[in-house]
Amino acid sequence: MTANPDEGATTATAGRDELSGAGADQDDIVGAGAGRGEIVGAGAGRGELSGAGADQGEIVGAAPAPDGPVSVIDYNERIPNNVGLATDRKLQRALQAWQPKFLDWWASLGPSIPTRDVYLRTAIAVGRDGWANFARVPMQQYRWGIFLSERNPDRTVGFGRHLGEPAWQQVPGEYRADLRRLIVVQGDTEPASVEQQRHLGMTAPSLYDMRNLFQVNVEEGRHLWAMVYLLHAYFGRDGRDEAEQLLQRNSGDADKPRILGAFNEQTTDWLSFFMFTYFTDRDGKYQLGTLKESGFDPLARTCEFMLREEAHHMFVGTTGVQRIVERTAALLAAHGTDDLWDLGGIPLAVIQKYLNFQFSVSLDLFGSETSSNVASYFTAGLKGRWMETRRKDDHLLADATMQIPVVAGDTITTRTVPMLTALNLDLRAEYVADCERGIRRWNRELEQTGLPHRLTLPHEGFNRKVGAFAGHWVSPSGELLAAADWDGQAAGWLPTPEDRAGVAALMQPHYEPGEFASWIAPPGVGINDLPVEYDYVRF
Ligand SMILES: [Fe+2]
Ligand SMILES: [Fe+2]
C-alpha cells in the first residue's frame, strides 16, 4: 500500500515498513487517508494474519520516495509495460491486435457519460515503493498497460508438494489447464464490474465521487489487461482464444453472461456501488491474495501489483458507506425518525438491507466450504492461502483439519474435515473478519452521534445460494427457519422494490464542483491534497 500516494492529506506512517511487499492485508488504506481524520490501531500487530489488531488496515500516509528496486514503466510504447514487450515481437503483435478490441469494448460498455477529462492516477513504476502519477486525462486516452511487480530472483514455491523449489517462470505442463482456468475466472470479473457500473456517472452525487468511480473503472480495465497479458504470453493459442472471450461475455447477457453470479447483478445506484466496492471488490482482494502466493511467478507478480491498485477500491467502498451513514446518522438524530426519504436521506434500515444483500452474494463468490479442486490447487502450488508465507505451519496441510458449518436437521452445527478441502472457508473466514472492521468503523459514526442504532453483518448462512447453507432458510441473526417463515420476513432483511425505488429517486446528479447530494456527507479531504471542491471531472 505504500505504493499509492492516494487521496488526500498525509496522516500517519507508523509501522508501514513491516508491510512493504506484503501485498494486501493493509488494504483500505491506501495512500493518504481521505476523509478519515482518525487513525486507528497504528501499526500494532499489523504484520499478523488478519484478525490481529483490528482496524490496523486504516493507516495511511504519503508515499515515500522509492527505495526498493524499481522498474520504470515504458510509456513510449503503444502498450505501456515493464515486461520488455519491445523485445518480444510476437507477443507485441498479439497484444496490439487485442488492443483495438479492448478500446471498442471500453467505448461501448465502459462509462456511458461523456466527459472531457478526469483527474486520474496512473501507475508509472512498480517495485517495492512504486508510486503513482496524478493528472487530468481524457478517459479514452488512459494508458492501460501491463505492469508486474518486481521479480525476486530467489523466490521459491511457498506451499504444497513443490515447497522450496524455485518459483516457475513458465507454466508447468501438468498445471496448464488449471492455471488457465484460474486466470480466466479472475480476469472475467474485472471488465464485468466496469459493465455493471457503466451508467453510474449519470447520477454521481459529486464530481469527487464520479472521479473515484472512474478511477476504479480504469483500474479494473487494467486488471483485465494484466490477465490478458498472462494468457497471451504463457498459454499460446488457447490463451488468445480466452482473451477474446473475456470481451465477448458481458455482465447480465442472456446468452454469454459473466462467469460468476455476483458479476451479473446490476449496480443500479450509488448505495449499491459503495456496497459493491466494499464487499465484492474485497472478495477480489482475497482472491488476488491467494494468487499472489502462486508458484507460477508471473501470476504472483501480476496479482501483487493489482492488489496495490485494489486498495483504492476498498477505500472508495469504506469511505463511501461511511459518508452515507454519517449523513443518515445526522438526520436521524435531528429528526428522531428513520423515515428519511422526504428529508433527502437514506434510512438506516435500508442501508442495512443493502449491506445484507451485498455481503451474502459476495460470500457466494468464495464457493463451497469444501472443494477438492481447491485442495489440488493448493497441493500443486497454484493457489495459496491468504498470507501463506506468514503462516506458521508446514504449508503442506496433509494432516491438518478444520471445522466447517453444516446444516443437520433443524440445527446449524459443524463437522471436521481435512483442512486441504476447506481452504475456501479458510479464505472466507479471513474475509469476514476484514468485513467486520468496516462495520465497526461505520458504527462509530452512529456512536459519535449518540444514537443507539448499529449496523451488523448478517450470519454467514443468510441468503446463500452456494455451499452448506444453500437451500436453507437462515435469518440474519442465524436462526434456521421454515421457507414460508423466511419469505414472510424477507422484506425486512433484503431491499424491496420500494426501497430500491426510494434510493433511485435520490440519485440525482450533482456536477457543480464542491456540491454534494443530500444523502451523503462530503469527504474530509480531497484527492491527492486537492480541495474537496476541485473540479475532478470536466465535461
Ligand atoms: Fe480488479
Ligand atoms: Fe477492484
For 317-336, b where at least 16 C-beta lie within 10 A, e where not — what string? Answer: bbbbbbbbbbbbbebbeeee
CA 221/CA 313 separation, integer angstroms: 13
- Kindly report the pTM of this predicted structure: 0.87
Q: Cα(303) to centroid of ligand 1, in Å?
A: 9
CA of 126 to the centre of ligand 1 (A): 17
Q: Which ligand is nearest to the CA of 314?
A: 2
Calculate ∠ Cα 80-83-89, nearest 5°: 85
Cα of 292 to ligand 2 centre, how many Å?
15
Which of the 8 DSSP states describes residue 276?
I
Residue 483 makes CB contacts below 8 A (sequence gap 6+) with 473
How far apart CA 275 and CA 446 sit, in angstroms, is 18
Burial class (CB in 10 A: 0-12, 13-18, 19+), 45: middle
Binned average pLDDT, 10 residues per bin, the chain of 539 residues: 30 26 32 28 24 29 44 74 89 93 96 96 69 86 88 96 98 97 96 96 98 96 96 96 96 93 88 97 96 98 92 94 98 96 98 98 96 97 97 96 95 97 98 97 97 98 97 97 98 98 97 97 94 97
* pLDDT given at position 129: 52
Ligand nearest to the CA of 215: 2
- Tell me, in angstroms, the distance from the centre of ligand 2 to residue 126's CA: 18
Between helix 348-364 and helix 423-448 the angle, nearest 10°, is 170
* Cα–Cα nearest to 221, from 315, 135, 146: 146
Q: How far is the CA of 268 from the centre of ligand 1 (A)?
A: 19
What was the pLDDT predicted at 145?
Answer: 87
CB atoms within 10 A of CB 142: 20
Q: 209 CA to middle of ligand 1, Å?
A: 18
Distance between Cα 16 and ligand 2 center (Å): 22
Q: How far is the CA of 404 from the centre of ligand 2 (A)?
A: 28
Q: Which pLDDT does position 131 carry in this prediction?
A: 61
**What was the pLDDT predicted at 323?**
98
Of 267, 141, 266, the closest CA to residue 213 belongs to 267
Cβ pair 9, 526 in contact under 8 A: no
C-alpha cell at 56: 490496523
C-alpha 190 to ligand 1 mean position (Å): 5
Ligand 1 centre and the CA of 434: distance in Å?
18
- Per-residue confidence (pLDDT) for residue 127, from 0 to 100: 60
What's the pLDDT at 30?
Answer: 32
Domains recognised in the chain with CATH numbers: 81-370+425-538 (1.10.620.20)
**CA–centroid distance, residue 453 to ligand 2 (Å):** 30
Using the mean position of ligand 1's atoms as its centre, give its distance from the Cα of residue 193 in Å. 8
Distance 301 CA to ligand 1 centre (A): 15
Ligand 1 center from residue 103 Cα (angstroms):
18
Ligand index nearest the alpha carbon of residue 281: 2
Ligand 2 centre to CA of 284 (Å) is 6
Cell, residue 457: 453483518
Please give the pLDDT value at position 42: 25
